[in-house]
Structure 1
């Protein structure tokens, strides 16, 4: 059995009620639920939440909410792997036999069903623990700058001041959309970013973190452009 688990706690601080706030006319979480269902990859699409309002909205858009997440894994210190382990063990205790699982973030309005399929295919392509969404940095990280104690500028890697951009190794970062993995890897809380993981590369225009009000505004503007 393949399942999707969408973590969605109610206590967002920087953007209150972020997971169900309207984003281009729909609750934010609806985009993740609909992409998961349309992908055809999953036997179940589960939302793990501590919030009854989020649970109601999730069910309206076709997800299952078979439990309310315990408070001890719904605070600011609970990790995604904590939440995934709890959900998997709860479902298995009810008799589900789970092979693969996709952690799909509730604030991922740019996720596409086709990308979820790519993630599943990537996970199946070798002896892997995980396959996750990633994208490239827009600027060479080897030329990143920092501000020192005096307020002036230093390079993190000054040895690359004169290195041509085309000679620098391209760097990538987590796109924050989805993380396919085996049930065993999630239950053991194995690190997601490691040698037994594969990246599913997305174009930068399809990636936007949504952690602050400014992020939200940028995401809405980007969504308007690429969905037209």
Structure 2
């Protein structure tokens, strides 16, 4: 069995009710649910939440079932994705066939409206093939490249600039290595990996590189506005992919 679990708590501080806030005509979480369903990569799609409104919205937009968080600390500002995934799987292993359940589990973020179903399908196939060839594989996760060389970055403290890598200040951009970061969309692993809360960013994990135009962090109001612009542009330029993106 291949399943997806979408963590979605109700206590977002910077953008209140973020996971179900209207995003270009639909609740934000609806896009992740649509992509998961369109990918045909999962037998079932669950949503882990502490919030009634999120639970109701998730079921309305295609979730197969809701996993209520075991305690309030799993919905506070300090709970990690690993904590939430472990809790969800512990609940599922009580009521489901453990052997089937633990083969492939995807953590899919609710805040990924640009996500394309094709990448979920590809990542699922990639995980199965690579895991069969190398049992030590931990995760396959979404990643993307920084838009500007991080080696030329700097901080500003009390109005004063400080280069992060002074030795790269005069280096041409084309001579600097490309640097990547977590895209914050999906993470595929075996169920036992999630239950053990194994770290994601190690040599045992493999990133799937996504185009930058399909990635946007959504933590602030400015992020939200930019994500809506990107989504509208994507829908107008790629009509054939509209269903996949929600």
What TM-score, normalized to structure 1? Answer: 0.95
Matches within 5 A, 1:30-179: 30-69=30-69, 70-97=71-98, 98=101, 99-124=103-128, 125-126=130-131, 127=134, 128-148=137-157, 151-179=159-187
* Structure 2 residue 13 is matched with structure 1 residue 7: no
Deviation at 1:178, TM superposition (A): 0.7
For residues 80-118 of structure 1, give each alpha carbon's deviation from its aligned partner in whole angstroms, at most 9, with x where no partner exists. 000000101110111233211110011110111101012
- Which of the numbers 178, 187, 191 marks the counterpart of 2:199? 191
Q: 1:67 is paired with a residue of what secondary structure?
A: strand
- Rounded Cα–Cα distance in structure 2 between residues aligned with 1:187 and 1:140: 36
User: Given that residues 20 and 27 in structure 1 are in contact (C-alpha distance below 8 angstroms), is that contact kept between their aligned partners in structure 2?
Assistant: yes
Structure 1 runs not aligned, ≥5 long = none
- Rounded Cα–Cα distance in structure 1 between residues aligned with 2:212 and 2:73: 35
Q: 2:65 is paired with a residue of what secondary structure?
A: coil
For residues 135-183 of structure 1, give each alpha carbon's deviation from its aligned partner in whole angstroms, at most 9, with x where no partner exists. 10011111111224x5322211111122222221110011111111111
- Rounded Cα–Cα distance in structure 2 between residues aligned with 1:63 and 1:225: 27
Pairwise CA RMSD of aligned residues? 1.3
Deviation at 1:122, TM superposition (A): 2.7
User: Given that residues 122 and 198 in structure 1 are in contact (C-alpha distance below 8 angstroms), is that contact kept between their aligned partners in structure 2?
Assistant: no
- Kindly indicate which of the two structures has a greater share of residues assigned to helix: 2
* Structure 2 residue 211 is matched with structure 1 residue 211: no
The number of aligned residues is: 227
User: Given that residues 149 and 178 in structure 2 are in contact (C-alpha distance below 8 angstroms), is that contact kept between their aligned partners in structure 1?
Assistant: yes
- Rounded Cα–Cα distance in structure 1 between residues aligned with 2:19 and 2:162: 39
Structure 2 runs not aligned, ≥5 long = 237-246
User: Given that residues 107 and 210 in structure 1 are in contact (C-alpha distance below 8 angstroms), is that contact kept between their aligned partners in structure 2?
Assistant: yes
- Rounded Cα–Cα distance in structure 2 between residues aligned with 1:194 and 1:117: 23
* Greater CA drift, 60-69 or 100-109: 60-69
Q: 1:227 is paired with a residue of what secondary structure?
A: helix
